């Protein structure tokens, strides 16, 4: 049976900058959006809010759903990655609670597009999706049954 990993990611945008988290992978600093796996008994929105807090220390409301990417990583791991958006009022200071996150940066779209240290090609692709301007209401995603009711 095919069982892809389900992950969430969040673009956080404020004043022409985007929030990236920096983590060391195989001895190399990499950039990603706040992102991680869906855990048992949580909705997709709860998962993205939890990941945002763990990786940045921020508790901002998720405003839009942007895209669902089906992706197979270079190591052949399959993923379904739900991408969300937060348009923040300011570039808030961050304080990661996840020991895997070294720090966070507010960077321009151009810095992400041309970055050679992205965690995956989905980081760049996510930014390009943001720039295309499509936004979907969170109500497009729903939860049903126990424990969600």
Percent of the chain with pLDDT over 90: 92
C-beta neighbour count of 30 within 10 angstroms: 19
Taking the CA atoms of residue 40, residue 102, residue 105 and residue 130 in that order, the dihedral angle to the nearest 10 degrees is -30
Q: Which two tokens stand for residue 20?
A: 């990236």
148 or 64, which is more confident: 64
Helix (H, G, I), strand (E, B) or coil at 69: strand
Measured CA to CA in angstroms, residue 30 lies from 14, 45, 111, 115, 138 at distances of 21, 25, 13, 9, 29
Write down the domain spans for the chain: 5-140
Architecture of domain 5-140: Alpha-Beta Complex (3.90)
Confidence of residue 148 (pLDDT cuts 50, 70, 90): confident
Taking the CA atoms of residue 39, residue 128, residue 59 and residue 141 in that order, the dihedral angle to the nearest 10 degrees is -50
Neighbouring residues of 144: CB distance < 8 A, sequence distance ≥ 6: none
Q: Could you tell me how far CA 33 lies from the centroid of its own chain?
A: 4
Asked if 65 and 108 count as a contact pair (C-beta separation under 8 A), the reply is: no
Which residue is it, tokens 């990661």? 96
The reported pTM is 0.94
Tens digits of residue pLDDT in 104-123: 999 999 999 999 999 999 99
Tens digits of residue pLDDT in 10-60: 999 999 999 999 999 989 999 999 999 999 999 999 999 999 999 999 999
């Amino acid at each position: 049976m095919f069982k892809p990993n389900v992950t969430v990611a969040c673009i956080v945008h404020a004043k022409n900058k985007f929030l990236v988290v920096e983590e060391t992978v195989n001895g190399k600093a990499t950039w990603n959006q706040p992102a991680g796996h869906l855990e048992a008994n949580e909705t997709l929105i709860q998962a993205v809010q939890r990941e945002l807090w763990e990786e940045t220390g921020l508790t901002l409301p998720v405003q839009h759903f942007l895209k669902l990417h089906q992706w197979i990583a270079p190591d052949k791991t399959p993923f379904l990655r739900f991408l969300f958006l937060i348009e923040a009022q300011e570039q808030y200071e961050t304080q990661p609670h996840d020991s895997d996150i070294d720090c966070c940066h507010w960077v321009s779209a151009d810095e992400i597009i041309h970055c050679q240290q992205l965690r995956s090609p989905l980081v760049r692709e996510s930014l390009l999706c943001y720039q295309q301007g499509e936004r979907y209401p969170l109500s497009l995603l729903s939860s049903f049954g126990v424990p969600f009711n």
